[in-house]
Chain A
Amino acid sequence: MLSSPFISRPLAVNQIMLRVLLALLPGIALYVWYFGPAILVSLTVASLTALATEALMLKLRGRPLKPFLSDNSALLTAWLLALSVPPLAPWWLVVIGVAFAIAVAKQLYGGLGSNPFNPAMIGYAVLIISFPHEMTHWLSPQALGSIHLSFADQMSYVFRHTLPPGLTLDAITMSTPLDTLKTQLHLGHSVSEIRELPIYGRLAGQGSEMVAVGFALGGLYLLFTRIISWHLPLVYLGTLFALAGIFHLFDPAHYVTPLFHWFSGAAMIGAFFILTDPISSPTTTKGKVIFAAGAGILTYLIRVFGGFPDGMAFATILMNLCVPIIDAYTQPAIFGQKDANK
């Protein structure tokens, strides 16, 4: 016999996760529009891998399958990771990343609710460290090249590693706008020269900037439906903007605009979908601000001064590490104790 309350009207975990998945759809739609449907295949492969790995691990751990397979959290991890991997990457890359994320980063830590790190970001880190070559071949936006790769051709490369005769991988892929920027700056070009390159659009990378806009739209939906609190995305984007703005004002020839940072790489999807993972982020308001600001600073530092083209994943993981201590030191005053703390 359980005690009161006898009524409840929650938004259940699987509903929350489902809404986050739905919020990814505008970004995914724009992805398909600009880069072709290969990403849908990645998403499918990732989803199937995630569910299979989750089921296997739950069985090994002796946990019930149904409630945990239907909570949609494995799907969310799968989608976030699939969206961080080049769509033309070989199928096994996605499988390894997702399997590692679910099996090690999530289930070995105790499953739903117990993972200290964002599983998708752990999967991404494993992939970028282990398979840097495969992780850098991003599709050029379809509007860019004269060569169009049909869906069948894309699939043939993903699953059989063969391209139509006469095509090389370099002809259809490119490095990311952030990566290109870094390389070109190293070669001594100025920001304004680099931005003239055809891969760049109005804000950041041609095509990818629009995908980021799609993620931002989905993120705003999550904000307004209160699925996520505003602290994490706004403080993260604000910090990134401020830091990029200072450097840009100081030396515009070497440092791109804050908007470029916002709309390139994983900044938008990170701000609204990755940092906001409740399990691996702080619970206190002050803690959320510190966490997001820290992630913003780390993202910028890794992007501009670090060895990797994007810093979102490592910034998230590093800040995930700090969550227990952030929470411990940011406990707010309770009702009736505010005056005492003044």
Chain B
Amino acid sequence: MRRLFTFHGGIHPPTNKTQSTTQPIARVPLPAELVISLHQHAGEAAKPVVQVGERVLKGQLIGAPVGGFSAAVHAPTSGTVSAIELETVAHPSSLPELCITLRVDGKEEWAARHAVDYRTLCNAELQQHLRAQGVVGLGGAAFPCDMKLRHAIPVATLILNGAECEPYITCDDMLMRERAAEIVRGAEILRHALDAKEVLFGIEDNKPEAIAAMQRAIDDGGLPFEVVAVPTIYPGGSAKHLIKVLTGREVPSGKLPTDIGVQCFNVGTTYAIKRACDDGEPLIARVVTVTGNVAQPRNYEALIGTHFAELITASEELPGTNRYIMGGPMMGLELPTANVPLVKASNCVIVASDALFPPQPAPLPCIRCTRCVQACPAELQPQDLYWFAQSNNFGKAQEFHLFDCIECGACAYVCPSSIPLVHYYRYAKSEIRARDQEKRAADLARERHEFRQLRIEREKQEKAERLAQKERATAKAVTETAAVPTPTGPVAAGDDTQQLHINAALERAKAQAAAAHPKNIDHLTPEQQAEIAVIEARRATIHDIAADAGADDEPPKQS
């Protein structure tokens, strides 16, 4: 038996999972229309690479990744692009995102599929392939997969996360029961790419069927992988906490699991990786749980872009429904309407009613009972964070590690005063981010302004210097001319005024020359002259450097 570890805190909410595991994963009929968001992953939104009216094939690239932190988006089936517009999507801000609307032609005509043999690929090549296939983490954060394959130190342990700790959600459970062999295959691909010594499947012990199925698949494949039943506790499926349970090690605050030689992939993602490599299929569908106030709670394998309403209709919504939640009841997100499209991160939709989710009582003041401290898996002081957040004391909130909060909701679940604690943390985090951005913008503006002042000042000086030089040059020329012996003899009377002018100019030039030249350099020793030469040379160099620096029009770097 493997020695397991525990983490601080956690709660045991009713799991409500059995409702949706009675029936196998189903499919819904091909929808008439799909709406595919170009921003369904963490990082930069993809940019559309198709035109309205263009016919696309199943699996064809329709959104290309932008920059290093982004993911590709593909057509989930064949059809015609009917719009590329802002649409309402499942996002906490309720802000619309750019989406591609696809009129489905029902032919399911595939574009060319690029299957690869993972054994011939190195890590970087697999990264490239997964990036091209749009594979992102399906556990909820939708982090681009290629980025998770990067690591600075060798990865000793690869963890496949099948914990699925959130109540109601069963998509990973059903996937493991039905497609264990493919998941194991995906795990082998990842093990190969990361060259991991040890491969562990962490599955909560409330999923005995999934545990058995995974074990069977591993035995059939003859692979040295290990299935570990971990205790059912929320949020035991958080990557950092699963790593703690399985290895006893804590990922340092602000670091990644790979920094301690561990990497963690969701089993759904692992399945998608298998499909992307062996079958050359980009990520265009996923398994999603539809549960709650419906007659047929179950899982569907649905195309990305399917409206939730179609899935909910297939599961037969019951009366009393008052809202829809994407994700679980602990960390999920209330949908603006059921008419938003499925994205890669959608693991579950809960049809909610007051009977299932009674309204929370009105909050009372915090009584500092520290039940939240006992529940917090990040080992924070939620009551202090709440105090700082509600009094807009954001500096103090950051000092108390606000950004280590994983927003799991365990604190709010146990709060005797029914304070929506996580709500306050989200508010504080977004305020801090907004202020940071503002500050950065202000800093940049100030820097630019200061540099502009500096540049104007410098240009003035340079202009003055140039002028002085020019005058010196003129003066010298005049002096030289003056040195040339003037023709003697009577001067024509008409030249009188001219001569006067010349004399006056000569006088001025003399005076200027006297002013421009230091008066004490006439009788210098050779040593002194040499010294002056050195100083002059140094000045010239400095001047050159200054001129160079001024040439690339950049603000001076702050040290």
A and B assemble together: yes
Which residues of A are at the interface with B, using a C-beta cutoff of 8 A?
Answer: 1-13, 15-16, 67-68, 71, 73, 110-114, 229, 278-279, 281, 283-284, 327, 331-340
Q: Is the CB of A4 within 8 A of B330?
A: yes
Q: Is the CB of A12 within 8 A of B418?
A: yes
What A residues does B137 contact at CB under 8 A?
A: none
Q: Is B167 an interface residue (CB 8 A)?
A: yes
Do A284 and B381 contact each other (CB < 8 Å), given the known contacts A13-B364, A113-B366?
yes
Chain A, residue nearest B384 (CB): A283
Q: Is the CB of A1 within 8 A of B418?
A: no
Q: Is the CB of A10 within 8 A of B413?
A: yes
Q: Is the CB of B418 within 8 A of A5?
A: no
Q: Which positions 367-412 of chain B face chain A at CB distance < 8 Å? A: 367-371, 373, 377-381, 383-384, 400-401, 404, 407, 409, 412
Which residues of B are at the interface with A, using a C-beta cutoff of 8 A?
Answer: 7-8, 13, 92, 167, 240, 244, 250-255, 325, 327-334, 352, 357, 360-362, 364-371, 373, 377-381, 383-384, 400-401, 404, 407, 409, 412-418, 420, 422-423, 426
Measured CA separation A114–B417 after assembly (Å): 14
| Min C-beta distance of B245 to chain A, whole Å | 12
Do A13 and B252 contact each other (CB < 8 Å), given the known contacts A1-B334, A3-B423, A5-B409?
no
Known pairs A112-B365, A335-B379 / 15 extra A-B pairs, C-beta < 8 Å: A2-B423, A4-B329, A4-B334, A7-B413, A16-B416, A67-B362, A283-B370, A283-B384, A334-B380, A335-B8, A335-B244, A335-B404, A336-B255, A336-B404, A338-B250
Q: Is the CB of B416 within 8 A of A13?
A: yes
What B residues does A8 contact at CB under 8 A?
A: 360, 412-415, 418
Do A4 and B422 contact each other (CB < 8 Å), given the known contacts A67-B364, A71-B364, A340-B252?
yes
Do A16 and B401 contact each other (CB < 8 Å), given the known contacts A5-B413, A333-B379?
no
Do A339 and B92 contact each other (CB < 8 Å), given the known contacts A10-B416, A16-B369?
no
What A residues does B412 contact at CB under 8 A?
A: 5, 8
Q: DSSP majority for the B interface? A: loop
Q: Is the CB of B418 within 8 A of A335?
A: no
- The 29 sampled A-B contact pairs (Cβ below 8 Å) are A3-B92, A3-B420, A4-B328, A4-B330, A4-B333, A6-B357, A7-B357, A8-B415, A11-B416, A12-B361, A13-B364, A67-B362, A112-B365, A113-B365, A113-B366, A229-B370, A283-B381, A284-B373, A332-B379, A333-B379, A334-B253, A334-B379, A334-B401, A335-B244, A335-B377, A335-B404, A336-B251, A336-B404, A337-B253
| Min C-beta distance of B313 to chain A, whole Å | 23
A335's partner among B253, B366, B407 (CB-CB below 8 A) is B253
What A residues does B378 contact at CB under 8 A?
A: 334-335
What B residues does A16 contact at CB under 8 A?
A: 367, 369, 416
| Min C-beta distance of A203 to chain B, whole Å | 32
Q: Is the CB of A283 within 8 A of B373?
A: yes
Measured CA separation A240–B557 after assembly (Å): 63
What B residues does A331 contact at CB under 8 A?
A: 381, 400
| Min C-beta distance of A23 to chain B, whole Å | 16
Chain A, residue nearest B405 (CB): A334
Measured CA separation A2–B424 after assembly (Å): 10
Measured CA separation A111–B400 after assembly (Å): 26
Measured CA separation A337–B401 after assembly (Å): 10
| Min C-beta distance of B23 to chain A, whole Å | 24
What A residues does B371 contact at CB under 8 A?
A: 10-11
Q: DSSP majority for the A interface? A: loop
What B residues does A284 contact at CB under 8 A?
A: 373, 381
What A residues does B240 contact at CB under 8 A?
A: 335-336
What A residues does B13 contact at CB under 8 A?
A: 7, 9
Q: Is the CB of A283 within 8 A of B331?
A: no
Most buried by B among A4, A73, A114, A332: A4
Q: Is the CB of A6 within 8 A of B379?
A: no
Do A337 and B252 contact each other (CB < 8 Å), given the known contacts A3-B92, A10-B414, A283-B381?
yes
What A residues does B413 contact at CB under 8 A?
A: 5, 7-10
B352's partner among A6, A11, A71 (CB-CB below 8 A) is A6
Most buried by B among A3, A15, A229: A3
| Min C-beta distance of B404 to chain A, whole Å | 6
Most buried by A among B325, B368, B371, B420: B368
Chain A, residue nearest B325 (CB): A6
Measured CA separation A117–B232 after assembly (Å): 40
What A residues does B418 contact at CB under 8 A?
A: 8, 10, 12
Most buried by B among A2, A6, A113: A6
B329's partner among A6, A73, A283, A339 (CB-CB below 8 A) is A6
What B residues does A71 contact at CB under 8 A?
A: 364
Measured CA separation A94–B422 after assembly (Å): 42
What A residues does B420 contact at CB under 8 A?
A: 2-3
Chain A, residue nearest B408 (CB): A5
| Min C-beta distance of B72 to chain A, whole Å | 29
What A residues does B255 contact at CB under 8 A?
A: 336
| Min C-beta distance of B333 to chain A, whole Å | 7
Q: Is the CB of B167 within 8 A of A13?
A: no
Q: Is the CB of A7 within 8 A of B329?
A: yes
Q: Is the CB of B252 within 8 A of A336?
A: yes
B332's partner among A2, A4, A111, A113 (CB-CB below 8 A) is A4
Chain A, residue nearest B425 (CB): A3
Q: Is the CB of B415 within 8 A of A278?
A: no
Measured CA separation A266–B10 after assembly (Å): 36
Q: Is the CB of A10 within 8 A of B415?
A: yes
What A residues does B352 contact at CB under 8 A?
A: 6
What A residues does B365 contact at CB under 8 A?
A: 110-114
Measured CA separation A12–B244 after assembly (Å): 32
B331's partner among A4, A11, A67, A336 (CB-CB below 8 A) is A4
| Min C-beta distance of A106 to chain B, whole Å | 11
| Min C-beta distance of A60 to chain B, whole Å | 17
| Min C-beta distance of A214 to chain B, whole Å | 25
Chain A, residue nearest B361 (CB): A12
B368's partner among A2, A6, A111, A278 (CB-CB below 8 A) is A278
Chain A, residue nearest B327 (CB): A4
Chain A, residue nearest B413 (CB): A8
Chain B, residue nearest A284 (CB): B381
Q: Is the CB of A339 within 8 A of B414?
A: no
Do A13 and B367 contact each other (CB < 8 Å), given the known contacts A4-B331, A336-B240?
yes
Q: Is the CB of B368 within 8 A of A283?
A: yes
| Min C-beta distance of A110 to chain B, whole Å | 8
Measured CA separation A284–B380 after assembly (Å): 10
| Min C-beta distance of B429 to chain A, whole Å | 12
Measured CA separation A16–B417 after assembly (Å): 11
